[in-house]
Amino acid sequence: SSIPKIVILGAGYGGVLTSLRLQKELNYNEADVTLVNKHDYHYITTHLHMPAAGTDNPENARVNISKLIDEFKIDFVKSTVVQIRPQDRKVILEDGTLSYDYLIVGLGGEPETFGIPGLGEHAMNIRSINSVRLIREHIEYQFARFKREPHRTDFLTFIVGGAGFTGIEFIGELADRIPELCKQFDVDTSLVKIINIEAAPTALPGFDPELVEYAMQVLQKKGVTFRIGTAIKECTPDGVVVGEGEEIKSQTVIWTGGVRGNRLIEEAGFETMRGRVKVDEFLRAPGHENIYILGDNSLVFNPEGRPYPPTAQMAMQQGVNCAHNLVASIRNQPLKTYTYVSKGTVASLGKGEAIGVAFGKKYKGRLAAWLKKAIDLRYLFIIGGIPLVLRKGKFL
Ligand code: FAD
Ligand code: NAD
């Protein structure tokens, strides 16, 4: 048929927002839209630190895609993308092929290991529902193992590599969970160590120093040890090697040292930096007028020429802009330039504690924690309205 085919890869923040906008803005029979995702659910990545530590149920961090999109307007295909072929305008799935006129790539990033030996094999990542269920079970299992081999205190040492926002949010939750686990397994809390290792001269490099100081104090009070200015050099089955060869024994290493673009992007032949495509002002891959790249796979520069950090906030805005430009392309109307508008940054430090900068002001403690809840609820509202807020929202 002559109806243009739009294929959206990935139902993350970028893919879902593009889909929701398209189903609202496109007229009947104006385009054929297909959304492809590995799972039949969308996961709320920004909540994953909680189920990873076991302070929340993983079910609260995922939503069935059928509850989000209108399947009369968008075809959903549950499959894994294995190759993108821009030269043929095709996408190869594990179980089939799709051809497209417009392609939107929202496959999310991958853990960046910087080639550090052993990290890929022996460390765990906070990435998906499956990866956080593994972390949660693994942590509980270490307590059970320790009860059988009480001389193995290394079973009770938990290492988090990287004190970016992901690492900091996770240790906040982990520090809340440990006393619960100690009670459940009859373990003396003083035997447990939570060590956050950060290579840079400060935790949360680049963030407001006063708030960083506050965050470290809150976390230290909860029992976290920081090793700042200390790089992880290697990860082994028995722990990590840091700095000038010091070994820290642990059976649990969670790597939160950074994110890169999806391998499928560079394999497709796009020009990338750390796996990300420097998109044009309309969010398209250079040289490809029909391919949009969103979220953690895109690289957008600020007016000073530095790349913005990849966030859910940005992926969502890009999804809205991308849907607008797809509709405009189909209708032969002018495209709209994408400009990032920061609404601020708020990071949780566990129950009742957070830090943040928003509306040009700094927040910490309970007020910041409340702001974080409000941001989480707002997202549920945007993608699924009041019913989703009531089903998955946390209000306490
Ligand atoms: P993602 O949301 O990662 O989605 C990618 C989708 O593609 C997934 O559904 C995945 O299953 C699917 N997929 C991947 N590969 C394939 C394949 N081969 N075939 C088919 N489907 C595939 N950002 C903020 O702005 N605020 C926050 O508070 C915040 N908190 C965070 C907390 C944590 C613990 C983490 C890890 C990140 C946080 N971020 C936050 C960053 C934010 O989550 C990411 O920037 C955002 O998820 C990127 O969105 P995306 O659309 O690019 O991809
Ligand atoms: P990141 O890249 O922001 O932080 C990684 C940290 O690991 C850095 O501080 C880096 O110095 C450190 N590191 C790198 N190599 C190391 C090594 N060998 N040894 C020790 N430390 C090392 O990654 P992230 O925290 O996963 O965040 C990814 C993106 O998601 C960012 O853009 C972030 O802003 C966003 N995010 C936002 C929130 C929020 O707003 N609440 C929460 C989580 C993530």
Nearest to 273, CA basis, from 309, 294, 293, 297: 297
State the complex-level ipTM: 0.98
Residue 153 lies in a domain: yes
Q: Please determine, for residue 131, whether its predicted confidence score (pLDDT) is greater than 80.
A: yes
CATH of the domain at 208: 3.50.50.60
Q: Which residues contact 339 (CB under 8 A, 6 or more apart)?
A: none
Residue 380 lies in a domain: no
Residue 331 CA to ligand 2 center (angstroms) comes to: 40
Residue 61 lies in a domain: yes
Residue 387 lies in a domain: no
83 shares its domain with 172: no
70 shares its domain with 123: no
137 shares its domain with 153: yes
242 lines ligand 2 (CB under 6 A): no
243 shares its domain with 265: no
Q: What is the DSSP letter of 60?
A: G
For residue 72, what are the β-bridge partners?
none
Q: What angle do CA 143, 145, 151 make, to 5 degrees?
A: 95
77 shares its domain with 189: no
265 shares its domain with 335: yes
Instruction: For strands 62-64 and 41-43, give the pairing.
Output: antiparallel
169 shares its domain with 245: yes
Residue 370 lies in a domain: no
CATH of the domain at 84: 3.50.50.100
Pocket lining for ligand 1, CB < 6 angstroms: 10-15, 36-39, 42-43, 45-46, 48-49, 80-81, 106-108, 126, 166, 169, 294-296, 310-313, 315
Residue 55 CA to ligand 1 center (angstroms) comes to: 20
Residue 348 lies in a domain: no
For 336-367, the pLDDT digits (tens) are 999 999 999 999 999 999 999 998 999 999 99
Where is the domain boundary, 300, 327, 343? 343
Domain span at residue 187 reads 119-255
Q: Please determine, for residue 162, whether its predicted confidence score (pLDDT) is greater than 90.
A: yes
Residue 62 lies in a domain: yes
185 shares its domain with 305: no
298 shares its domain with 250: no
Q: What is the DSSP letter of 232?
A: E
198 lines ligand 2 (CB under 6 A): yes
For residue 34, what are the β-bridge partners?
7, 75
Are the beta carbons of 164 and 150 closer than 8 angstroms?
A: no
pTM (2 d.p.): 0.97
249 shares its domain with 125: yes
Q: Which atom of ligand 1 is nearest to the CA of 52?
A: 34
| Share above pLDDT 70 across residues of the chain, in percent, rounded to a whole number | 99
pLDDT band of 96, cuts 50, 70, 90: very high
91 lines ligand 2 (CB under 6 A): no
Residue 386 lies in a domain: no
89 shares its domain with 128: no
310 lines ligand 2 (CB under 6 A): yes
Q: Please determine, for residue 395, whether its predicted confidence score (pLDDT) is greater than 80.
A: no
Are the beta carbons of 132 and 126 closer than 8 angstroms?
A: yes
**First-to-last C-alpha distance (Å) of the chain:** 52
Total domain count for the chain?
2
Q: What angle do CA 381, 14, 289 make, to 5 degrees?
A: 140
165 shares its domain with 205: yes
Backbone angles phi and psi of 166, in degrees to 5:
-65, -45
Residue 385 CA to ligand 1 center (angstroms) comes to: 20
> What is the model's pLDDT at position 2?
84
Are the beta carbons of 315 and 283 closer than 8 angstroms?
A: no
Amino acid (1-letter code) at residue 148: R
Q: Which atom of ligand 1 is nearest to the CA of 296?
A: 52
Residue 262 CA to ligand 1 center (angstroms) comes to: 11
Region 9-31 average pLDDT: 97
Where is the domain boundary, 255, 273, 299? 255
pLDDT band of 224, cuts 50, 70, 90: very high
* Six-digit token string for 29: 């029979």
Mean pLDDT of the chain: 97
Ligand sitting nearest the alpha carbon of 293: 1
Where is the domain boundary, 225, 255, 285? 255
> What is the model's pLDDT at position 348?
98
